[in-house]
Amino acid sequence: MVDSVQGKKHKGLVIINTGEGKGKSTAAFGMMLRAWGRGMRVAAVQFIKGDTSKFGEHMAFEKMGVEVIPAGRGFTWTSHNLDVDAEKARHGWKVASEMILSRNYDVLVLDEITYPLRYGWIEVSDVIDVLGRREPMMHVVLTGRNAPQELVEFADLVTEMRPIKHPYAEQGITAQKGVEY
Amino acid sequence: MVDSVQGKKHKGLVIINTGEGKGKSTAAFGMMLRAWGRGMRVAAVQFIKGDTSKFGEHMAFEKMGVEVIPAGRGFTWTSHNLDVDAEKARHGWKVASEMILSRNYDVLVLDEITYPLRYGWIEVSDVIDVLGRREPMMHVVLTGRNAPQELVEFADLVTEMRPIKHPYAEQGITAQKGVEY
């Protein structure tokens, strides 16, 4: 879409928040907050956090009426599923790719998807294929350490969160409820 | 506060999100979202954005009942105020420091405060002094490029957001409503 005033393009972005530092998922949730503020249709699929964990973001999104889906939700274990974590991740990707292609969302966060990508449970080429077929104005935000290079090349906006100072190792302080989870 | 199970300390953190990349303010808003989800008392003072601007985060925080205060709000212009931007920033810091010392907030974001600090409109030593006198469990998040070194040394958790790939210069794409503002 071309803005007639500025001649600049509006388009849905593929955004990656990666790196060893804090703030990758948190910034993705901040984007969801913004989009929700504008009445856009937002959701997240979480690839690492447990099916039953209740973090501050879950409590918030529940209050806001925003869907946050654990990758393992709805996954059915059978004796063929030898590697449950891998199967849950693949199930999560199936759900996420259907959401991406449904045209029912303006912003979708794939939280910590880089881990199953790194483990080879989900194919990077599949993700790029589905992202390439999404509705052109849809934004997709992918988070996690060690984003695969092909995905970085495909993305529009990539930020590395670098730890400059981290309190836990140095000061024996634990993660703080409210700001970190 | 010491966690009896893990023997690890709980304490309020001074958190800095700095660097040239995206996600500094956005991650701070994500922390506010989390804390709000847990029923904590959260607010932000914004040092750069205009008094009347309406971004996605403002719309969201308004729906959520969370206070986001522009530094210039309530500032009264007189003929003695030769440098209005500097005076607005000082006024914002006065408001913020009262909020920090009030014990009425669990999480306070000082959004883009590094700019008035860099310009010398607010003294870094004043900010460190007030932060040092806050209630021990209170978290304060400071954002903006070029965080002053003394502040980095004082902080508990410092993250640098580094741009790996940025769409605007390269592709002529403008900032996208919903995810970026």
A30-85 pLDDT per residue, tens: 999 999 999 999 999 999 876 666 799 999 999 999 999 999 887 777 666 668 88
Residue ranges of domains in chain A: 14-161
CA-based nearest distance A113→chain B, Å: 18
Is the pLDDT confidence value at B3 over 90?
no
Q: B140: which 2 tokens?
A: 């304060």
d(CA A48, CA A93) in angstroms, rounded, equals: 12
Of B10, B161, B179, the CB nearest to A23: B161
d(CA A113, CA A71) in angstroms, rounded, equals: 10
Place of tokens 């993250």: B159
Average pLDDT for B51-70: 90
Of A16, A22, A25, the CB nearest to B157: A22
Best of A34, A61, A146, A160 to mutate (most B CBs within 10 Å, chain B): A34
Is B156–A171 a contact, with Cβ atoms under 8 angstroms apart?
yes
Is the pLDDT confidence value at B78 over 80?
no
Of B31, B58, B174, the CB nearest to A6: B174
φ, ψ for residue A8 (rounded to 5)?
-100, 150
Q: Please give the residue of chain B at the shortest CA–CA distance from A42.
A: B178
* Secondary structure of B59-81 in HEC code, one letter for each residue: HHHHHHCCEEEECCCCCCCCCCC
The count of CB pairs under 8 A between chains A and B is 228
The superfamily CATH assigns to domain B14-160 is: P-loop containing nucleotide triphosphate hydrolases (3.40.50.300)
**pLDDT single digits (tens) A80-135:** 666 888 999 999 999 999 999 999 999 999 999 999 999 999 999 999 999 999 99
CA-based nearest distance A180→chain B, Å: 7
CA-based nearest distance A112→chain B, Å: 15
Angle between helices B24-37 and A24-37 (to 10 degrees): 80
Strand ranges (E), chain B: 14-18, 42-46, 67-70, 107-111, 139-143, 157-165
Is A176–B11 a contact, with Cβ atoms under 8 angstroms apart?
yes
Best of A153, A179, A181 to mutate (most B CBs within 10 Å, chain B): A179
Asked if the interface predicted TM-score (ipTM) of this complex is over 0.95, the answer is no
CA-based nearest distance A73→chain B, Å: 22
Instruction: Using the Cα atoms of residue B83, residue B89, residue B93 and residue B95 in order, give the sign of their dihedral.
Output: positive
Residues of chain B contacting residue A105, judged by C-beta atoms under 8 Å apart = none
Is the pLDDT confidence value at A5 over 80?
no
Residues of chain B contacting residue A49, judged by C-beta atoms under 8 Å apart = none
Of A6, A40, A166, the CB nearest to B157: A166
Best of A5, A6, A24, A33 to mutate (most B CBs within 10 Å, chain B): A33
Of A38, A141, A179, the CB nearest to B139: A179
| Position with higher pLDDT, B179 vs A152 | A152
Q: What's this model's pTM, rounded to 2 decimal places?
A: 0.90
Provide the CATH number for the domain formed by A14-161 in this structure: 3.40.50.300
